[in-house]
Structure 1
Amino acid sequence: MYTKGKHIFNGKEYPCCASLTMGVIGGKWKTVIIYHLKDKPKRYSEIRKEMPAVTERTLSLQLKTLEDDGIVKRKVYTTKPPLKVEYSLTELGETLIPLIISIAEWGETAQQSKL
């Protein structure tokens, strides 16, 4: 199931599949962004409200990185006025939903545990 050797994704080389996955969704905010997009597309302002601790610059950069990696798609509606931009998961991004839900469930379990 897991291949040995080089793992290349979007022109970046990773030593293993786990490293590739963490390279794409790792960090403080990417997984949270995916979690908030798992149910439906959202505007930037909606995501921002759900993630008040992230700075606007960081959110923009993380959305751009996820877009570049093919996880998130950005759709611009050119209605007048105003310009509307909406973010959603791509087909590849949707394959991450079970993983993201498992991560969230683990967090819930860890919070409730007495360890």
Structure 2
Amino acid sequence: MIKLTSIALLAGFLVGCAYTAQPMESSAHKTSQREMTKQIELAVEKNDYRLLALASRRLVFPGLEQEDTAKLKKMCGVRYVDKSPDIIKSIEEKQKRRDAYAFAKSFNQAMLKHCLNVASDSKHAVE
């Protein structure tokens, strides 16, 4: 009887811990999304349609790897993510790189739409 009660209590604690850990992740994700939206709004206000790139051996726009990099660079411009090292030496740096990549991916996918709109508008103005 005591053994069964102990197991039930332990299971309850484990389920409770798993349940409370999830809202923190979604809260961090929402904060990141708000920050990204804010960054895009500020850039658009300044007519700055540059895409984010990570320091790397070659130019990489996170989230737009399948696109023509040279064309995007010419059309939109490039802005490198601060503190995104090319060489990763620790688990903490690896996590920072992952976070920077995720932010840049979301940013680039949203900013590309603005860049393409401006590019198509200016193309029509020239014609």
TM bin (shorter chain): 0.3 to 0.5
* Bigger fraction of residues in helix: 2
* TM-score, normalised via structure 2 length: 0.33
TM-score, normalising length: structure 1: 0.35
Higher RCO (C-alpha under 8 Å, 6+ residues apart): 2
**Whose Rg is larger?**
2
